[in-house]
């Protein structure tokens, strides 16, 4: 099951997302302040996260799009009318355009994980 959630900050700004994680873990992940995510403009440290609905994985994007379009939220991508084929093409183009950035993020993540392992020793 997938959870469709709303992250709402003290300024009543809302972000809608979906996750298979617990809502608490997902909120913690939003604290990472990714610059490419619509939620980066929220005050995540002063926000609440709550469940909108649970659905099957195959309905995830459709249900997330429903809530994004229903609520007044900060999501930049409104998901309206995005069929799976078009989304896959768009995602592939984005990955191609940002290949260096993605590779650098993966290198940094692996390096960080190695440092954490060494700290435990």
Residue carrying structure tokens 């069929």: 83
Residue carrying structure tokens 């609905």: 53
State pTM to two decimals: 0.62
Measured distance CA(7)–CA(49) in Å, rounded: 4
**pLDDT tens-digit readout, 15-33:** 999 999 999 999 888 877 6
8 Å CB contact between 79 and 64: yes
User: Could you give the C-alpha distances from 5 to 15, 47, 83, 105, in angstroms and in order?
Assistant: 8, 13, 22, 26
Tokens standing for residue 11 = 């300024």
User: Could you give the C-alpha distances from 51 to 24, 105, 120, in angstroms and in order?
Assistant: 11, 30, 35
**pLDDT tens-digit readout, 35-91:** 667 788 888 888 999 999 999 999 898 899 889 888 888 887 665 555 556 666 667
Query: What angle do the packed helices 84-97 and 99-120 form, to 10 degrees?
Result: 80
**What is the domain partition of the chain in residue ranges?**
1-77, 83-121
């Amino acid at each position: 099951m997938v959870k469709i959630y709303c992250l709402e900050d003290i300024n009543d700004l809302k972000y809608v997302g979906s996750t298979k994680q617990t809502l608490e873990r997902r909120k913690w992940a939003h604290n990472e302040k990714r610059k490419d995510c619509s939620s980066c403009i929220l005050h995540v440290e002063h926000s609440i996260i709550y469940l909108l609905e649970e659905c099957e994985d195959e309905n995830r994007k459709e249900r997330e799009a429903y809530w994004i379009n229903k609520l007044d939220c900060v999501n930049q991508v409104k998901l309206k009318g995005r069929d799976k084929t078009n989304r896959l093409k768009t995602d592939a183009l984005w990955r191609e355009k940002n290949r260096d950035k993605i590779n650098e993020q993966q290198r940094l993540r692996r390096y960080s994980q190695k440092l954490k392992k060494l700290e435990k020793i």
